[in-house]
Amino acid sequence: MRKTLPVVFALMVSPTVLAEVVALKGATLIDGSGRAPQQDAVLVVDGERILAAGAPGKVKVPQGARLVDVTGRTIMPGIINAHGHVGLVAGGQNRADAYTRENVQAQLLQYERYGVTSVLTLGLNRDLVYELRDEQRRGGLPGASLFTAGRGIGAPDGAPPVPVAPDQVYRPKTPAEGVADVQEAAAHKPDFLKIWVDDVFGKFPKMQPAIFKAVIEAAHAKGLKVASHIFYLADAKAVIANGVDALAHSVRDRPVDAELVAMMKKRGTFYVATLNVDASFFALADDPALLDDPFLTGALPPESVQQFRSGEYRSKVAADPNVPKARAALENAMRNLKTLRDAGVRIAFGTDSGANPARIPGWAEHRELELMVRAGLSPMDALFKSPSWKVSTGLETIEHNQCRFCRIGNLNTGIGAAAESFWLKREVYFGFAELASEYGRVFNSNYRLGGGATLGTLVDITERWKVGVSGTYLQFPLGEKSHEWRVSAQQRYALHKNFAVRFEFNQRARTQEYLLNLHAYF
Protein backbone atom coordinates (compact mmCIF):
# COMPACT_ATOMS: atom_id res chain seq x y z
CA MET A 1 0.00 0.00 0.00
CA ARG A 2 1.43 3.35 -1.02
CA LYS A 3 1.75 5.77 1.85
CA THR A 4 0.47 9.33 1.79
CA LEU A 5 1.32 12.29 3.96
CA PRO A 6 -1.99 14.11 4.47
CA VAL A 7 -1.77 17.81 5.20
CA VAL A 8 -2.94 17.19 8.75
CA PHE A 9 0.38 15.41 9.48
CA ALA A 10 2.23 18.59 8.70
CA LEU A 11 0.08 20.52 11.14
CA MET A 12 0.41 18.16 14.11
CA VAL A 13 4.13 17.66 14.53
CA SER A 14 4.69 19.53 17.78
CA PRO A 15 4.12 22.90 19.45
CA THR A 16 7.65 23.84 18.44
CA VAL A 17 6.89 23.25 14.77
CA LEU A 18 3.64 25.18 15.06
CA ALA A 19 5.63 28.23 16.17
CA GLU A 20 7.67 28.42 12.95
CA VAL A 21 7.21 28.53 9.21
CA VAL A 22 7.87 25.17 7.57
CA ALA A 23 8.35 24.51 3.85
CA LEU A 24 7.70 20.93 2.74
CA LYS A 25 9.54 20.29 -0.53
CA GLY A 26 9.60 17.52 -3.12
CA ALA A 27 6.24 15.82 -2.53
CA THR A 28 3.48 15.01 -4.98
CA LEU A 29 0.69 17.47 -4.12
CA ILE A 30 -3.02 16.77 -4.50
CA ASP A 31 -4.61 20.14 -3.79
CA GLY A 32 -8.28 19.10 -3.64
CA SER A 33 -9.40 21.06 -6.69
CA GLY A 34 -9.65 18.02 -8.96
CA ARG A 35 -6.63 19.07 -10.97
CA ALA A 36 -3.90 16.57 -11.74
CA PRO A 37 -1.37 16.00 -8.92
CA GLN A 38 1.56 18.44 -8.88
CA GLN A 39 4.94 16.71 -8.88
CA ASP A 40 7.91 18.03 -6.87
CA ALA A 41 5.67 20.55 -5.14
CA VAL A 42 6.29 23.00 -2.31
CA LEU A 43 3.89 23.54 0.59
CA VAL A 44 4.52 26.40 3.05
CA VAL A 45 2.89 26.09 6.47
CA ASP A 46 2.75 28.75 9.18
CA GLY A 47 1.34 27.24 12.37
CA GLU A 48 -2.11 25.95 11.48
CA ARG A 49 -2.33 27.89 8.19
CA ILE A 50 -1.15 26.85 4.73
CA LEU A 51 0.46 29.97 3.23
CA ALA A 52 1.18 28.70 -0.26
CA ALA A 53 1.31 25.54 -2.35
CA GLY A 54 2.43 24.75 -5.87
CA ALA A 55 5.39 24.36 -8.19
CA PRO A 56 8.85 25.28 -6.83
CA GLY A 57 9.29 28.22 -9.18
CA LYS A 58 5.90 29.71 -8.28
CA VAL A 59 5.92 29.42 -4.49
CA LYS A 60 8.00 31.88 -2.50
CA VAL A 61 9.53 30.31 0.60
CA PRO A 62 9.88 32.92 3.37
CA GLN A 63 13.39 33.65 4.55
CA GLY A 64 14.21 31.66 7.68
CA ALA A 65 11.61 28.95 7.01
CA ARG A 66 12.63 25.45 8.04
CA LEU A 67 12.97 23.22 4.97
CA VAL A 68 11.76 19.61 5.15
CA ASP A 69 12.49 17.23 2.28
CA VAL A 70 9.42 15.00 1.71
CA THR A 71 10.47 13.60 -1.67
CA GLY A 72 8.60 10.41 -2.44
CA ARG A 73 5.62 11.33 -0.26
CA THR A 74 2.16 12.54 -1.29
CA ILE A 75 0.49 15.49 0.43
CA MET A 76 -3.29 15.66 0.19
CA PRO A 77 -6.21 17.25 2.04
CA GLY A 78 -7.63 15.40 5.00
CA ILE A 79 -9.88 12.41 4.28
CA ILE A 80 -13.58 12.76 5.08
CA ASN A 81 -15.07 9.43 6.16
CA ALA A 82 -18.84 9.40 5.66
CA HIS A 83 -19.25 6.03 7.40
CA GLY A 84 -17.14 5.26 10.43
CA HIS A 85 -17.59 4.27 14.07
CA VAL A 86 -16.03 5.01 17.44
CA GLY A 87 -16.28 3.42 20.88
CA LEU A 88 -17.24 -0.09 19.75
CA VAL A 89 -13.89 -1.86 20.17
CA ALA A 90 -11.65 -2.02 23.24
CA GLY A 91 -8.76 -4.37 23.91
CA GLY A 92 -9.14 -5.93 20.48
CA GLN A 93 -12.79 -6.95 21.09
CA ASN A 94 -16.29 -5.60 20.49
CA ARG A 95 -17.60 -4.77 23.97
CA ALA A 96 -20.75 -3.18 25.32
CA ASP A 97 -18.67 -1.15 27.78
CA ALA A 98 -16.26 0.20 25.12
CA TYR A 99 -18.12 3.46 24.50
CA THR A 100 -16.28 5.73 26.94
CA ARG A 101 -14.96 9.26 26.67
CA GLU A 102 -11.37 8.02 26.81
CA ASN A 103 -11.84 5.38 24.11
CA VAL A 104 -13.76 7.67 21.74
CA GLN A 105 -11.18 10.42 22.12
CA ALA A 106 -8.30 7.98 21.49
CA GLN A 107 -9.97 6.77 18.30
CA LEU A 108 -10.63 10.30 17.05
CA LEU A 109 -6.94 11.05 17.57
CA GLN A 110 -6.02 7.88 15.69
CA TYR A 111 -8.24 8.85 12.77
CA GLU A 112 -6.50 12.23 12.67
CA ARG A 113 -3.01 10.68 12.85
CA TYR A 114 -3.87 8.71 9.71
CA GLY A 115 -5.11 11.78 7.87
CA VAL A 116 -8.84 11.30 8.44
CA THR A 117 -9.84 14.79 9.50
CA SER A 118 -13.63 14.27 9.65
CA VAL A 119 -15.67 11.18 10.48
CA LEU A 120 -19.43 10.62 10.51
CA THR A 121 -20.07 8.00 13.19
CA LEU A 122 -22.98 6.29 11.51
CA GLY A 123 -24.92 4.75 14.37
CA LEU A 124 -24.18 2.68 17.50
CA ASN A 125 -23.26 5.76 19.53
CA ARG A 126 -24.19 6.23 23.15
CA ASP A 127 -25.80 9.55 23.93
CA LEU A 128 -22.38 10.59 25.27
CA VAL A 129 -21.51 11.31 21.63
CA TYR A 130 -23.54 14.52 21.62
CA GLU A 131 -21.67 15.85 24.62
CA LEU A 132 -18.34 15.03 22.98
CA ARG A 133 -19.35 16.49 19.62
CA ASP A 134 -20.56 19.74 21.16
CA GLU A 135 -17.46 20.00 23.35
CA GLN A 136 -15.28 19.55 20.29
CA ARG A 137 -17.13 22.27 18.39
CA ARG A 138 -16.43 24.62 21.27
CA GLY A 139 -12.73 23.85 20.81
CA GLY A 140 -12.32 21.51 23.75
CA LEU A 141 -11.73 18.08 22.21
CA PRO A 142 -8.89 17.25 19.80
CA GLY A 143 -8.91 14.69 17.00
CA ALA A 144 -10.87 14.20 13.80
CA SER A 145 -13.97 16.38 13.50
CA LEU A 146 -16.86 14.36 14.89
CA PHE A 147 -20.20 14.15 13.12
CA THR A 148 -22.78 11.66 14.31
CA ALA A 149 -25.99 9.80 13.57
CA GLY A 150 -26.49 9.08 17.25
CA ARG A 151 -27.79 5.65 18.21
CA GLY A 152 -29.36 4.71 14.89
CA ILE A 153 -32.46 2.55 14.44
CA GLY A 154 -32.22 -1.23 14.06
CA ALA A 155 -34.55 -4.20 14.22
CA PRO A 156 -35.63 -6.07 17.38
CA ASP A 157 -33.44 -9.17 17.74
CA GLY A 158 -31.83 -8.22 14.42
CA ALA A 159 -29.28 -5.91 12.87
CA PRO A 160 -27.01 -4.53 14.12
CA PRO A 161 -25.89 -7.77 15.91
CA VAL A 162 -23.18 -6.32 18.15
CA PRO A 163 -22.87 -5.97 21.94
CA VAL A 164 -24.09 -2.53 22.96
CA ALA A 165 -25.16 -0.51 25.98
CA PRO A 166 -28.90 0.20 26.50
CA ASP A 167 -28.58 3.74 25.09
CA GLN A 168 -26.64 2.73 21.97
CA VAL A 169 -29.31 1.69 19.43
CA TYR A 170 -33.08 2.00 19.04
CA ARG A 171 -35.05 -1.13 18.08
CA PRO A 172 -38.69 -0.13 17.45
CA LYS A 173 -41.32 -2.87 17.10
CA THR A 174 -43.95 -0.67 15.43
CA PRO A 175 -44.03 2.39 13.14
CA ALA A 176 -45.27 4.49 16.06
CA GLU A 177 -42.28 3.44 18.18
CA GLY A 178 -39.99 4.28 15.25
CA VAL A 179 -41.45 7.78 15.01
CA ALA A 180 -41.02 8.26 18.76
CA ASP A 181 -37.38 7.15 18.50
CA VAL A 182 -36.77 9.66 15.71
CA GLN A 183 -38.29 12.43 17.78
CA GLU A 184 -36.12 11.54 20.78
CA ALA A 185 -33.00 11.42 18.59
CA ALA A 186 -33.89 14.71 16.87
CA ALA A 187 -33.91 16.50 20.22
CA HIS A 188 -30.13 15.91 20.36
CA LYS A 189 -29.66 17.49 16.90
CA PRO A 190 -27.76 14.64 15.23
CA ASP A 191 -26.00 15.34 11.95
CA PHE A 192 -27.66 12.36 10.25
CA LEU A 193 -29.89 9.41 11.07
CA LYS A 194 -29.05 5.73 10.45
CA ILE A 195 -31.30 2.72 9.88
CA TRP A 196 -30.40 -0.95 9.38
CA VAL A 197 -32.35 -2.90 6.74
CA ASP A 198 -30.54 -6.24 6.47
CA ASP A 199 -30.85 -9.85 7.66
CA VAL A 200 -27.04 -10.41 7.90
CA PHE A 201 -26.72 -13.40 5.53
CA GLY A 202 -30.21 -14.58 6.44
CA LYS A 203 -29.52 -14.99 10.18
CA PHE A 204 -31.74 -12.25 11.65
CA PRO A 205 -35.16 -10.66 11.13
CA LYS A 206 -35.15 -7.59 8.91
CA MET A 207 -36.72 -4.21 9.68
CA GLN A 208 -40.30 -4.09 8.42
CA PRO A 209 -41.00 -1.73 5.48
CA ALA A 210 -43.76 0.05 7.40
CA ILE A 211 -41.26 0.90 10.14
CA PHE A 212 -38.47 2.24 7.91
CA LYS A 213 -41.05 4.20 5.88
CA ALA A 214 -42.36 5.86 9.07
CA VAL A 215 -38.81 6.50 10.34
CA ILE A 216 -37.66 8.14 7.10
CA GLU A 217 -40.75 10.35 6.91
CA ALA A 218 -40.41 11.38 10.56
CA ALA A 219 -36.70 12.15 10.11
CA HIS A 220 -37.35 14.31 7.05
CA ALA A 221 -40.08 16.15 8.93
CA LYS A 222 -37.40 17.05 11.49
CA GLY A 223 -34.96 18.14 8.78
CA LEU A 224 -32.73 15.07 9.18
CA LYS A 225 -31.12 13.11 6.34
CA VAL A 226 -31.24 9.32 6.58
CA ALA A 227 -28.62 6.72 5.62
CA SER A 228 -29.55 3.06 5.38
CA HIS A 229 -27.43 -0.04 5.94
CA ILE A 230 -28.40 -2.40 3.08
CA PHE A 231 -27.04 -5.53 1.41
CA TYR A 232 -29.69 -6.57 -1.11
CA LEU A 233 -30.67 -4.79 -4.32
CA ALA A 234 -34.37 -5.10 -3.47
CA ASP A 235 -33.84 -3.40 -0.10
CA ALA A 236 -31.83 -0.61 -1.73
CA LYS A 237 -34.74 0.10 -4.07
CA ALA A 238 -37.25 -0.09 -1.22
CA VAL A 239 -35.52 2.44 1.02
CA ILE A 240 -34.82 4.80 -1.91
CA ALA A 241 -38.47 4.62 -2.96
CA ASN A 242 -39.31 5.76 0.58
CA GLY A 243 -36.91 8.71 0.39
CA VAL A 244 -33.66 7.56 2.01
CA ASP A 245 -30.80 9.99 1.33
CA ALA A 246 -27.81 7.62 1.29
CA LEU A 247 -27.02 3.94 0.98
CA ALA A 248 -24.45 3.33 3.70
CA HIS A 249 -23.04 0.18 2.04
CA SER A 250 -22.77 -1.40 -1.38
CA VAL A 251 -25.41 -3.52 -3.05
CA ARG A 252 -23.73 -6.91 -2.78
CA ASP A 253 -26.16 -9.71 -3.65
CA ARG A 254 -26.26 -9.08 -7.41
CA PRO A 255 -25.38 -6.53 -10.09
CA VAL A 256 -27.17 -3.20 -9.87
CA ASP A 257 -29.63 -2.52 -12.66
CA ALA A 258 -30.86 0.43 -14.70
CA GLU A 259 -33.85 0.91 -12.39
CA LEU A 260 -31.65 1.50 -9.36
CA VAL A 261 -29.40 3.87 -11.32
CA ALA A 262 -32.41 5.88 -12.45
CA MET A 263 -33.85 6.02 -8.91
CA MET A 264 -30.57 7.19 -7.39
CA LYS A 265 -29.92 9.82 -10.04
CA LYS A 266 -33.47 11.17 -9.88
CA ARG A 267 -33.39 11.52 -6.10
CA GLY A 268 -29.71 12.43 -5.71
CA THR A 269 -29.12 9.46 -3.39
CA PHE A 270 -25.53 9.04 -2.22
CA TYR A 271 -23.77 5.66 -2.45
CA VAL A 272 -21.15 4.79 0.17
CA ALA A 273 -19.39 1.65 -1.08
CA THR A 274 -17.50 0.57 2.10
CA LEU A 275 -15.56 -2.10 0.18
CA ASN A 276 -13.47 -2.54 3.31
CA VAL A 277 -16.43 -4.19 5.06
CA ASP A 278 -16.35 -7.45 3.12
CA ALA A 279 -12.58 -7.38 2.61
CA SER A 280 -12.11 -7.22 6.39
CA PHE A 281 -13.58 -10.73 6.78
CA PHE A 282 -10.46 -12.29 5.29
CA ALA A 283 -7.79 -9.73 4.29
CA LEU A 284 -5.46 -10.19 7.26
CA ALA A 285 -5.72 -14.00 7.08
CA ASP A 286 -5.13 -14.08 3.32
CA ASP A 287 -2.17 -11.73 3.44
CA PRO A 288 -0.32 -11.99 6.79
CA ALA A 289 2.48 -9.85 5.30
CA LEU A 290 0.21 -6.83 5.85
CA LEU A 291 1.04 -7.23 9.54
CA ASP A 292 4.71 -6.54 8.79
CA ASP A 293 3.81 -3.01 7.74
CA PRO A 294 4.23 -0.44 10.56
CA PHE A 295 1.53 1.64 8.88
CA LEU A 296 -0.95 -1.07 9.88
CA THR A 297 0.51 -2.25 13.17
CA GLY A 298 0.79 1.35 14.37
CA ALA A 299 -3.02 1.49 14.29
CA LEU A 300 -3.48 -1.68 16.38
CA PRO A 301 -3.00 -2.51 20.06
CA PRO A 302 -0.34 -5.21 20.67
CA GLU A 303 -2.96 -7.81 21.59
CA SER A 304 -4.68 -7.34 18.23
CA VAL A 305 -1.43 -7.71 16.30
CA GLN A 306 -0.77 -10.95 18.17
CA GLN A 307 -4.31 -12.16 17.53
CA PHE A 308 -4.19 -11.47 13.78
CA ARG A 309 -0.76 -13.16 13.47
CA SER A 310 -1.94 -16.35 15.15
CA GLY A 311 -2.68 -19.61 13.38
CA GLU A 312 -5.86 -19.78 15.45
CA TYR A 313 -7.15 -16.63 13.76
CA ARG A 314 -6.38 -17.96 10.27
CA SER A 315 -8.09 -21.25 11.10
CA LYS A 316 -11.13 -19.39 12.39
CA VAL A 317 -11.37 -17.39 9.16
CA ALA A 318 -10.94 -20.55 7.06
CA ALA A 319 -13.80 -22.24 8.93
CA ASP A 320 -16.19 -19.28 8.90
CA PRO A 321 -19.14 -20.08 6.59
CA ASN A 322 -19.69 -16.36 5.98
CA VAL A 323 -16.24 -15.80 4.47
CA PRO A 324 -17.09 -17.27 1.03
CA LYS A 325 -20.22 -15.10 1.06
CA ALA A 326 -18.09 -12.05 1.91
CA ARG A 327 -15.70 -12.82 -0.95
CA ALA A 328 -18.60 -12.99 -3.40
CA ALA A 329 -20.10 -9.85 -1.86
CA LEU A 330 -16.84 -7.93 -2.34
CA GLU A 331 -16.70 -8.93 -6.02
CA ASN A 332 -20.25 -7.69 -6.55
CA ALA A 333 -19.56 -4.53 -4.55
CA MET A 334 -16.52 -3.63 -6.65
CA ARG A 335 -18.37 -4.17 -9.93
CA ASN A 336 -21.36 -2.21 -8.70
CA LEU A 337 -19.25 0.73 -7.56
CA LYS A 338 -17.71 1.02 -11.03
CA THR A 339 -21.12 0.73 -12.69
CA LEU A 340 -22.68 3.42 -10.51
CA ARG A 341 -19.68 5.74 -10.78
CA ASP A 342 -19.72 5.47 -14.58
CA ALA A 343 -23.48 6.13 -14.59
CA GLY A 344 -23.04 9.40 -12.68
CA VAL A 345 -24.49 8.35 -9.32
CA ARG A 346 -23.24 10.46 -6.39
CA ILE A 347 -20.46 8.57 -4.60
CA ALA A 348 -19.38 9.35 -1.02
CA PHE A 349 -16.36 7.88 0.75
CA GLY A 350 -16.79 5.58 3.73
CA THR A 351 -15.27 2.48 5.28
CA ASP A 352 -17.27 1.25 8.32
CA SER A 353 -13.98 1.50 10.21
CA GLY A 354 -14.20 1.03 13.95
CA ALA A 355 -17.18 -1.35 13.70
CA ASN A 356 -15.11 -4.39 14.68
CA PRO A 357 -11.45 -5.20 15.41
CA ALA A 358 -10.62 -5.96 11.75
CA ARG A 359 -11.99 -2.63 10.49
CA ILE A 360 -9.17 -0.49 11.73
CA PRO A 361 -9.66 3.29 12.12
CA GLY A 362 -7.21 5.23 9.97
CA TRP A 363 -5.68 2.28 8.15
CA ALA A 364 -9.05 1.21 6.75
CA GLU A 365 -9.46 4.53 4.93
CA HIS A 366 -6.22 4.04 3.00
CA ARG A 367 -7.20 0.43 2.30
CA GLU A 368 -10.58 1.61 0.98
CA LEU A 369 -8.89 3.96 -1.49
CA GLU A 370 -6.78 1.06 -2.73
CA LEU A 371 -9.87 -1.14 -3.14
CA MET A 372 -11.73 1.61 -5.01
CA VAL A 373 -8.86 1.84 -7.48
CA ARG A 374 -8.89 -1.96 -7.87
CA ALA A 375 -12.61 -1.65 -8.63
CA GLY A 376 -11.75 0.47 -11.66
CA LEU A 377 -11.83 4.03 -10.39
CA SER A 378 -8.79 6.18 -11.00
CA PRO A 379 -6.86 7.30 -7.90
CA MET A 380 -8.26 10.80 -8.33
CA ASP A 381 -11.79 9.44 -8.81
CA ALA A 382 -11.43 7.66 -5.49
CA LEU A 383 -10.49 10.94 -3.79
CA PHE A 384 -12.50 13.58 -5.62
CA LYS A 385 -15.50 13.91 -7.86
CA SER A 386 -14.86 14.75 -11.49
CA PRO A 387 -15.70 18.24 -12.73
CA SER A 388 -19.31 18.87 -13.79
CA TRP A 389 -20.36 19.67 -17.33
CA LYS A 390 -23.44 21.50 -18.53
CA VAL A 391 -24.99 22.02 -21.96
CA SER A 392 -28.12 24.07 -22.61
CA THR A 393 -29.97 25.24 -25.69
CA GLY A 394 -33.31 26.95 -26.30
CA LEU A 395 -35.31 29.96 -27.48
CA GLU A 396 -35.96 33.06 -25.39
CA THR A 397 -37.29 36.59 -25.66
CA ILE A 398 -35.04 39.54 -24.71
CA GLU A 399 -34.97 43.33 -24.93
CA HIS A 400 -31.99 44.44 -27.06
CA ASN A 401 -31.00 47.22 -29.50
CA GLN A 402 -34.34 49.04 -29.36
CA CYS A 403 -36.22 45.78 -29.85
CA ARG A 404 -38.39 45.08 -26.84
CA PHE A 405 -39.59 41.54 -27.57
CA CYS A 406 -36.92 39.86 -29.67
CA ARG A 407 -36.70 36.11 -30.15
CA ILE A 408 -33.21 34.58 -30.08
CA GLY A 409 -31.73 31.11 -29.99
CA ASN A 410 -28.86 30.12 -27.71
CA LEU A 411 -26.39 27.29 -27.16
CA ASN A 412 -24.24 27.32 -24.01
CA THR A 413 -21.79 24.85 -22.55
CA GLY A 414 -19.44 24.90 -19.58
CA ILE A 415 -17.31 22.98 -17.14
CA GLY A 416 -17.26 23.60 -13.43
CA ALA A 417 -17.19 22.22 -9.94
CA ALA A 418 -19.25 22.28 -6.78
CA ALA A 419 -18.60 22.05 -3.05
CA GLU A 420 -21.02 21.08 -0.30
CA SER A 421 -21.14 22.40 3.27
CA PHE A 422 -23.44 22.14 6.27
CA TRP A 423 -22.79 25.49 7.96
CA LEU A 424 -26.50 26.34 8.08
CA LYS A 425 -28.46 23.40 6.74
CA ARG A 426 -26.99 22.15 3.49
CA GLU A 427 -25.40 24.51 0.97
CA VAL A 428 -23.95 23.75 -2.45
CA TYR A 429 -21.55 26.32 -3.92
CA PHE A 430 -20.85 26.04 -7.64
CA GLY A 431 -18.89 27.72 -10.39
CA PHE A 432 -18.76 27.25 -14.16
CA ALA A 433 -16.51 28.53 -16.94
CA GLU A 434 -18.80 28.97 -19.93
CA LEU A 435 -18.88 29.29 -23.71
CA ALA A 436 -21.97 31.10 -24.94
CA SER A 437 -23.44 31.60 -28.42
CA GLU A 438 -26.62 33.50 -29.27
CA TYR A 439 -28.34 33.88 -32.65
CA GLY A 440 -31.01 36.31 -33.90
CA ARG A 441 -31.64 39.18 -36.26
CA VAL A 442 -31.54 41.56 -33.31
CA PHE A 443 -27.72 41.18 -33.21
CA ASN A 444 -25.28 42.87 -35.56
CA SER A 445 -24.00 40.06 -37.82
CA ASN A 446 -27.00 38.04 -36.55
CA TYR A 447 -25.00 36.42 -33.76
CA ARG A 448 -22.60 36.90 -30.88
CA LEU A 449 -20.11 34.38 -29.49
CA GLY A 450 -18.05 34.52 -26.30
CA GLY A 451 -17.56 33.19 -22.82
CA GLY A 452 -17.51 33.97 -19.15
CA ALA A 453 -18.25 32.52 -15.76
CA THR A 454 -21.13 31.73 -13.39
CA LEU A 455 -20.95 31.55 -9.59
CA GLY A 456 -23.80 30.65 -7.28
CA THR A 457 -25.16 28.75 -4.33
CA LEU A 458 -28.12 26.52 -3.49
CA VAL A 459 -29.35 26.31 0.10
CA ASP A 460 -31.70 23.78 1.70
CA ILE A 461 -33.87 25.90 3.99
CA THR A 462 -36.01 22.89 4.92
CA GLU A 463 -36.40 19.41 3.51
CA ARG A 464 -38.88 20.78 0.92
CA TRP A 465 -37.82 24.41 0.51
CA LYS A 466 -34.67 25.29 -1.44
CA VAL A 467 -33.32 28.74 -2.37
CA GLY A 468 -30.69 29.56 -4.98
CA VAL A 469 -28.86 32.64 -6.26
CA SER A 470 -26.33 32.96 -9.07
CA GLY A 471 -24.49 35.58 -11.07
CA THR A 472 -23.06 35.34 -14.59
CA TYR A 473 -20.72 37.57 -16.57
CA LEU A 474 -20.32 37.03 -20.33
CA GLN A 475 -18.00 38.78 -22.79
CA PHE A 476 -18.81 38.46 -26.52
CA PRO A 477 -15.77 39.29 -28.72
CA LEU A 478 -17.14 37.68 -31.91
CA GLY A 479 -20.16 38.76 -33.96
CA GLU A 480 -21.81 41.63 -32.10
CA LYS A 481 -19.19 42.75 -29.61
CA SER A 482 -20.78 43.27 -26.20
CA HIS A 483 -20.78 42.11 -22.60
CA GLU A 484 -23.52 41.31 -20.14
CA TRP A 485 -24.20 40.67 -16.45
CA ARG A 486 -26.97 38.30 -15.45
CA VAL A 487 -28.40 37.67 -11.98
CA SER A 488 -30.87 34.97 -11.00
CA ALA A 489 -32.67 34.17 -7.77
CA GLN A 490 -35.11 31.34 -7.30
CA GLN A 491 -36.84 29.30 -4.67
CA ARG A 492 -38.41 25.89 -5.02
CA TYR A 493 -40.94 24.26 -2.74
CA ALA A 494 -41.75 20.56 -3.09
CA LEU A 495 -45.48 19.95 -2.70
CA HIS A 496 -45.00 16.21 -3.11
CA LYS A 497 -42.19 13.95 -4.23
CA ASN A 498 -43.41 14.39 -7.85
CA PHE A 499 -44.55 18.04 -7.80
CA ALA A 500 -42.87 21.34 -6.96
CA VAL A 501 -43.59 25.06 -7.27
CA ARG A 502 -40.72 27.34 -8.35
CA PHE A 503 -40.61 31.14 -8.26
CA GLU A 504 -37.76 32.70 -10.21
CA PHE A 505 -36.42 36.23 -10.76
CA ASN A 506 -33.96 36.94 -13.58
CA GLN A 507 -32.15 40.20 -14.36
CA ARG A 508 -30.49 40.34 -17.79
CA ALA A 509 -29.16 43.69 -18.99
CA ARG A 510 -32.32 45.85 -19.16
CA THR A 511 -34.71 42.90 -18.91
CA GLN A 512 -36.33 41.72 -15.72
CA GLU A 513 -38.57 38.69 -15.54
CA TYR A 514 -40.57 36.95 -12.87
CA LEU A 515 -41.57 33.32 -13.39
CA LEU A 516 -43.91 31.08 -11.44
CA ASN A 517 -43.68 27.44 -12.50
CA LEU A 518 -45.33 24.20 -11.49
CA HIS A 519 -43.00 21.25 -12.09
CA ALA A 520 -44.12 17.65 -12.38
CA TYR A 521 -41.58 14.82 -12.26
CA PHE A 522 -42.31 11.38 -13.73
Which of 361, 383, 405 is at the close of a domain? Answer: 383
| Overall average pLDDT of the 410-433 stretch | 75
How many helices and strands in the chain, by DSSP H and E? 16, 23
Query: Same domain, yes or no, for 13 and 50?
Result: yes
Query: Same domain, yes or no, for 130 and 199?
Result: yes
- pLDDT at 120 (0 to 100): 98
Tell me: cis bond preceding 160? Omega within 30 of 0 counts: yes
Stronger pLDDT, 124 or 502, i.e. the higher one: 124
Query: Same domain, yes or no, for 112 and 220?
Result: yes
**Using one digit for the tens of pLDDT, what is the confidence trace for 376-396?**
887 766 655 555 666 777 777
Query: Same domain, yes or no, for 447 and 326?
Result: no
- pLDDT at 391 (0 to 100): 75
Query: Same domain, yes or no, for 248 and 220?
Result: yes
Query: Same domain, yes or no, for 417 and 371?
Result: no
Query: Same domain, yes or no, for 379 and 413?
Result: no
Does a structural domain hold residue 296? no
The closest alpha carbon to 132, from 148, 151, 112, 154, belongs to 148
| Overall average pLDDT of the 169-180 stretch | 98
- For residue 497, CA distances in Å to 284, 493, 500 come to 45, 10, 8
For the stretch 43-49, contacts whose Cβ atoms lie closer than 8 Å and that sit 24 or more positions apart, written own/partner, are 43/7, 43/10, 43/75, 45/10, 45/11, 45/21, 46/21, 46/22, 47/18, 47/19, 48/11, 48/18
| Mean pLDDT (the chain, rounded) | 89
Stronger pLDDT, 152 or 462, i.e. the higher one: 152
- pLDDT value at 169 more than 50: yes
- pLDDT at 175 (0 to 100): 98
- Pick from 185-199, 351-365, 415-429, 485-499: least confident: 415-429
- pLDDT at 520 (0 to 100): 61
Does a structural domain hold residue 2? no
| Overall average pLDDT of the 154-159 stretch | 95
* Local confidence band at 499 (pLDDT 50, 70, 90 cut-offs): low
Structurally, the chain folds into a number of domains equal to: 3
CATH code for position 132: 3.20.20.140
Query: Same domain, yes or no, for 439 and 354?
Result: no
* Local confidence band at 414 (pLDDT 50, 70, 90 cut-offs): confident
Does a structural domain hold residue 304? no
Does a structural domain hold residue 244? yes
Does a structural domain hold residue 36? yes
User: Could you give the CA distance from residue 144 to residue 297 in angstroms, rounded to a whole number?
Assistant: 20
Helix or strand holding residue 311 (H, E)? helix 311-319
Q: State which residues form the domain around 395.
A: 388-520
Burial of 282 (0-12, 13-18, 19+ CB in 10 A): buried
In the chain, % of residues over pLDDT 70: 90
**Using one digit for the tens of pLDDT, what is the confidence trace for 270-325?**
999 999 999 999 999 999 999 999 999 999 999 999 999 999 999 999 999 999 99
Does a structural domain hold residue 315? no
Query: Same domain, yes or no, for 364 and 405?
Result: no
Query: Same domain, yes or no, for 27 and 84?
Result: no
**Using one digit for the tens of pLDDT, what is the confidence trace for 16-68?**
344 589 999 999 999 887 778 899 999 999 988 899 999 888 999 999 999 99
Which of 41, 75, 109 is at the close of a domain? Answer: 75
Query: Same domain, yes or no, for 454 and 439?
Result: yes
Query: Same domain, yes or no, for 94 and 118?
Result: yes
Does a structural domain hold residue 286? no
Q: Please count the CA atoms within 13 angstroms of the CA of 414 that sit on its side-chain side.
A: 21
